[in-house]
Copies of this chain bind each other. A is one copy, B any other.
Amino acid sequence: MPIQTVTIVGVGLIGGSFGLALRKHGFAGRILGVSSARTLEAALEQGAIDEGASLESGVGQAELIYLSQPISQILDGLPRIAKLARPGALVTDAGSTKGAIVERAAQCFGDDPCFIGGHPMAGKEKSGVERADPDLFQQAVYVLTPAGEKMPQTPVVADFQGWLGKIGARIVVLPAGLHDEVVTWTSHLPQLIASALASTVAEQVPAGPCRQVAGPGLQDMTRLAESPYEIWRDILGTNWANVDRALSVFLQQLRHFQEQLAGPGLEEEFRASQEARRELRPKRDS
């Protein structure tokens, strides 16, 4: 059992869920949390951590350091954490963009202690350890982005991957840059579209009975607009160029739909989109 102590830095929805998931699936070591006093109290009450710790003490004691803060705080903290982590340890993170974090980590970390970027494709519109869920990672894709060409091979890395499997995650290894390109399309573009749609509809449809004239489709299409800006500031700030390009491509596609509106060409577009959606749908979503 190479991992005996896990330190979760930033015990929010993801960090708290990671602690709960480890515990649920039989992790018998210690789980330390580094967060504000108020968050630690809530995390202790939930059973997501065993005890609170300072950054120095928490990082220095652990074989696995799990950074689940906002991206900007992860970036700021990496140099210090690289110094505090002990030999043999693995530092990983759960930030939603990987290029900037892996680049910074490559500057701060060598081979030992080592760093691997991570991005669990799991979350909720609302954040906070109060909503932590031991089953959050069940069936969820969990991207790992090594800093170098390939994954470091250490006992702790192997054990970490084993725990990811036990808590139900499906590991996908990708270069950080490719990860950021992919989530631009699958996450960042949809987020901006949902936000723009919510504000457009609220502006155009007067409050009162007209607002009731909406089905579940609109709810699905605007749900993401409730995501907190604090998270998205960092995501968009570290993936600006990809998102800018994706918006241009999507705008062009939607203009193309608009041009086809009156003509017969829309049928082809609709059928292609139907086929596309079938391809994108996970097999378990029937």
Contact = CB atoms under 8 A, between A and B. Distances in A.
A227 B220 CA distance: 14
B218 A220 contact: no
Interface in A161-206: 170, 172, 174, 178-179, 182-183, 185-187, 189-205
A215 interface: yes
6 contacts: A185-B200, A190-B218, A197-B250, A219-B280, A232-B270, A240-B262
A191 B217 contact: yes
B255 A251 contact: yes
A140 B217 CA distance: 13
A205 B182 contact: yes
Interface in A217-237: 217-229, 232-233, 236
B200 A217 contact: no
Copies in the complex: 2
Interface of A: 121-123, 140-141, 143, 170, 172, 174, 178-179, 182-183, 185-187, 189-205, 207, 209-215, 217-229, 232-233, 236, 240, 243-244, 246-251, 253-258, 261-262, 266-267, 269-282, 285
B280 A211 contact: yes
Given A207-B279, A257-B195, A225 B274 contact: yes
Contact of A212 (B141, B190, B197, B233): B141
A205 B172 CA distance: 15
A176 to B, nearest CB: 12
A268 to B, nearest CB: 9
A121 to B, nearest CB: 4
Contacts of A226: 274, 277-278
